[in-house]
Amino acid sequence: MNWGHKLTIVIAAFIIIMLGMVYIAFRQTNEMMDEGYYAKELKYQSYIDASKNLNSITTETLISQQAEGIVVRIPESLIEGFANGKIEFLRNDNEKKDLLVNVTPDAAGIFIIDHSKFSSGKYIARIQWESKGKPYYREETLIVNK
């Protein structure tokens, strides 16, 4: 085989590899974690203040996985006057698996979410609520195992 054939094979292999890379690049999704990310970023100071409000009361984890489901524990001192509770469960890998849950804890401050609403994997859980007109916020990582 002469040098011309070898050069043709190298160029053809290079072209095939580049076309393969282009195909892979087009299949990638570049989803942002939040819709309206930039608008939320502008009001981020309110999340910092709400987080400080909660951290002054407790630094314990609020969300955990138990046998009965995903358990959310609101501190007892914040149950009275609880309002506008919601949790966003966000997946980095697939926006379709995100979940928004309105929270209404019982008298002990416990709220249980059924496992069937989740798929296995890592979620970023953003919980926020108000108690007696004061905002509270925390972001936690939850690994769901089914």
pLDDT single digits (tens) 26-73 = 888 766 666 666 676 667 888 888 999 999 988 888 999 988 899 999
d(CA 22, CA 140): 36
More confident: 30 or 85: 85
How large a percentage of the chain has pLDDT more than 90? Answer: 40
pLDDT of residue 34: 62
Q: Of 91, 75, 90, 92, nearest to 129 (Cα)?
A: 75
pLDDT of residue 16: 97
Report the chain's mean pLDDT, rounded to a whole number: 88
pLDDT of residue 37: 66
pLDDT of residue 116: 87
pLDDT of residue 19: 96
pLDDT of residue 32: 61
pLDDT of residue 94: 81
Write out pLDDT tens, residues 129-139.
Answer: 999 889 999 99
pTM value is 0.71
Q: Which whole number is the average pLDDT over 84-100?
A: 88
Q: Which whole number is the average pLDDT over 118-128?
A: 91
Cα–Cα distances in angstroms (integers) from residue 1 to residues 5, 11, 18, in the given order: 6, 16, 25
Residue 88, Cβ density class (10 Å: 0-12 exposed, 13-18 middle, ≥19 buried): middle
